[in-house]
């Protein structure tokens, strides 16, 4: 693939200067269109050391409005960043709707560094899959991703290194990592070939830019970015310089052709798509209707077991810290089902420094203008700590589905996206416990009435709670489907019979203790 790229393509300095003003004007026009359309744009610069990526980015951004642009230089992960799943730091840098984020190196740098230094083959394949998953999730949400690989020959790289090191003012730019890459150019090229093949997708294709001639490379870079945005936003897409894709038909499949993007609010043409091997068209089993809500626990047994489980949980919290494992505990369920009271008992004997409770409501601020999973990525726990979610990412397939805040296309694909998200957490060592707190509509009404009559509890009862009761059947259907499609062997749902609060709290604590012991090892108590 790379050896088929014509690196002799060139433009003169005069031709470059003639073309540059028009390209910059067109890109500025596209930046305004991106803002108006609310499209998030990611421009990824990768390539060989010595390809002057920083200077190329500077030329790209010099005429853009800086208020809608962020440039992120990506270095190897810091110690603090290694506390989280490997894509965490990139999710935190996602552009808001209508903004452009430029990455000087990216997630691909980390992948390649591992691969060429003798990384595990299975880990490499998994990371490629993680990246394809992330990019698909972003493009499904409306993002445009432009991925550029600046390509030069080994001979040209050596020539550039010699020129840089000959000048004391620029010698620092050639690092030990760069020299290692040059010595192992052929091995590195093989890794790049594999990466391009595994991560070149119709929604996020690679653009391989011949960069032996810097003027040609800059113009081709502009064209790749402009053509992608103009195709998306319905503007002209007149080529200025030939891209490497015109030479390589295998890579050309997703390059400069216009793509037919479905409206974010339109359902896909075929709604019989399957998720977790269950067709959406099939009737779903009534899981919640089969739950036995008559289960009870007396006061004495409750008090005794509560103390024992809280003590064991305290020790397991220490084990979690010592083993550097993160834990995520998710609570979903009916209003007034006892989520808050259960969380209080769960955390009562934990070290308060070891956990954070996230009460999830409607997104606001920066959470509202990005992919719906963004706000959960940024709330993940570091290694050795708990994150407890009172409501969670499952709102996408519950309240957002029922209330119409997410289109059918959006909430249907969320089942797969959520399973992928949780799979990445598990791969990074996270322990996940998920609870659905279940009560009957009659018990909910009784608790609503009790809240209304107790001054210090009345604030918990809102008009929205009463409105949600009227849609009980819709929420029950949504919950049944959620439980069916997102309960996996590594992150199963536990349905908690919560008609009796004592029984519910003990079941939750017992389940958390058993899950932690299965992962961390049993404790002596």
- Indicate whether 207 and 327 sit together in one domain: no
pLDDT at 279: 39
**Token pair 């001979």 is at which residue?**
155
In a domain, 272, yes or no: no
pLDDT at 186: 95
Please tell me the distance from the alpha carbon of residue 210 to that of residue 213, in angstroms, as a whole number: 7
- Indicate whether 397 and 500 sit together in one domain: yes
Q: What is the CATH number of the domain that holds 198?
A: 3.40.50.300
Q: pLDDT grade, residue 266 (50/70/90)?
A: very low
Predicted confidence (pLDDT) per residue in 163-178, tens digit: 999 999 999 999 999 9
Q: Are strands 274-275 and 278-279 parallel, antiparallel or unpaired?
A: antiparallel
- Indicate whether 247 and 387 sit together in one domain: no
What share of the chain in percent tops pLDDT 90? Answer: 83
Contact (Cβ atoms closer than 8 angstroms) between residue 393 and residue 432:
no
pLDDT at 449: 87
- For the cut 70, the answer to whether the pLDDT of residue 468 exceeds it is yes
Out of 106-115, 255-264, 414-423, 426-435, which region has the weakest mean confidence (pLDDT)? 255-264
In a domain, 346, yes or no: yes
Mean pLDDT of 222-242: 76
pLDDT at 236: 54
Predicted confidence (pLDDT) per residue in 175-189, tens digit: 999 999 999 999 999
In a domain, 285, yes or no: no
Q: pLDDT grade, residue 458 (50/70/90)?
A: low
User: Residue 371 is part of which domain span?
Assistant: 294-520
Mean pLDDT of 103-118: 94
Predicted confidence (pLDDT) per residue in 11-70, tens digit: 999 999 999 999 999 999 999 999 999 999 999 999 999 999 999 999 999 999 999 999
Q: Name the token pair of 188.
A: 């590195």
- Indicate whether 132 and 226 sit together in one domain: yes
Mean pLDDT of 395-412: 97
Mean pLDDT of 309-328: 98
Domains in the chain, number: 2
Mean pLDDT of 97-107: 97
Domain boundary among 202, 237, 254: 254
- As a whole number, the mean pLDDT across the chain is 90
Q: Which residues contact 523 (CB under 8 A, 6 or more apart)?
A: 312, 315, 316, 319, 517
- Write the DSSP string, 346-412: HHTTS-GGGEEEEE--S--HHHHTS-TTHHHHTTPPPTT-EEEEES-GGGGGTHHHHHTSS-HHHHH
pLDDT at 237: 42
- For the cut 70, the answer to whether the pLDDT of residue 282 exceeds it is no
In a domain, 96, yes or no: yes
- Indicate whether 193 and 122 sit together in one domain: yes
């Amino acid at each position: 693939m790379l050896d088929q790229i014509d690196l002799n393509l060139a433009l003169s300095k005069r031709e470059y200067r003639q073309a540059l003003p028009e390209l910059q004007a067109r890109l500025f026009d596209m930046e305004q269109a991106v803002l108006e359309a609310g499209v998030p744009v990611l421009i990824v610069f990768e390539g060989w050391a010595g390809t002057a990526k920083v200077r190329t980015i500077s030329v790209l951004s010099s005429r853009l409005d800086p208020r809608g642009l962020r440039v992120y230089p990506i270095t190897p992960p810091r110690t603090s960043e290694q506390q989280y799943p490997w894509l965490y730091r990139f999710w935190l840098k996602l552009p808001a709707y209508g903004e452009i984020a430029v990455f000087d190196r990216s997630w691909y740098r980390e992948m390649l560094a591992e691969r060429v230094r003798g990384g595990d083959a299975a880990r490499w394949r998994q990371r490629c899959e993680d990246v394809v998953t992330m990019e698909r999730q972003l493009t499904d949400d409306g993002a445009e991703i432009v991925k550029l690989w600046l390509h030069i020959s080994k001979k040209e790289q050596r020539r550039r290194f010699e020129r840089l090191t000959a000048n004391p003012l620029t010698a620092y730019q050639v690092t030990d990592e760069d020299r290692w890459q040059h010595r192992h150019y052929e091995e590195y090229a093989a890794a790049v070939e594999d990466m391009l093949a595994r991560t070149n997708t119709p929604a996020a294709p690679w653009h391989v830019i011949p960069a032996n001639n810097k003027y040609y490379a800059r113009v081709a870079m502009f064209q790749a970015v402009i053509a992608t945005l103009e195709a998306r936003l319905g503007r002209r897409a007149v080529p200025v310089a030939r891209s490497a894709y015109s030479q390589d038909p295998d890579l050309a499949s997703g390059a400069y052709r216009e793509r037919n993007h479905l409206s974010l609010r339109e359902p896909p043409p075929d709604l019989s798509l399957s998720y977790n091997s269950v067709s959406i068209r099939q009737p779903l089993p009534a899981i919640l209707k089969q739950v036995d809500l008559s289960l009870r626990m007396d006061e004495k047994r409750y008090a005794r077991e509560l103390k024992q489980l809280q003590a064991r949980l305290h020790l397991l919290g220490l084990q979690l810290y010592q083993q550097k494992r993160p834990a995520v505990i998710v609570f979903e369920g009916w209003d007034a089902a006892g989520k808050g009271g259960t969380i209080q008992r769960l955390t009562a004997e934990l070290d308060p420094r070891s956990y954070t409770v996230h009460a999830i409501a409607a997104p606001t601020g920066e959470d509202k203008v990005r992919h719906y999973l963004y706000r959960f990525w940024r709330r993940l726990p570091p290694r050795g700590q708990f994150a407890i979610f009172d409501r969670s990412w499952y709102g996408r397939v519950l309240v957002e589905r029922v209330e119409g805040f997410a289109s059918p296309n959006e909430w249907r694909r969320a089942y797969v996206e959520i399973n992928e998200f949780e799979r990445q957490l598990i791969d990074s060592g996270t322990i996940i416990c998920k609870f659905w707190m279940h009560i009957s509509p009659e018990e909910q009404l009784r608790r609503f009435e009790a809240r209304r009559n107790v001054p210090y509890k009345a604030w918990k009862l809102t008009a929205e709670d009463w409105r949600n009761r009227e849609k009980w059947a819709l929420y029950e259907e949504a919950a049944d489907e959620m439980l069916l499609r997102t309960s996996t062997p590594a992150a199963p749902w536990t349905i908690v019979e919560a008609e009796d609060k004592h029984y519910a709290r003990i079941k939750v604590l017992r389940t958390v203790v058993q899950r932690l012991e299965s992962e961390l090892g049993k404790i002596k108590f």
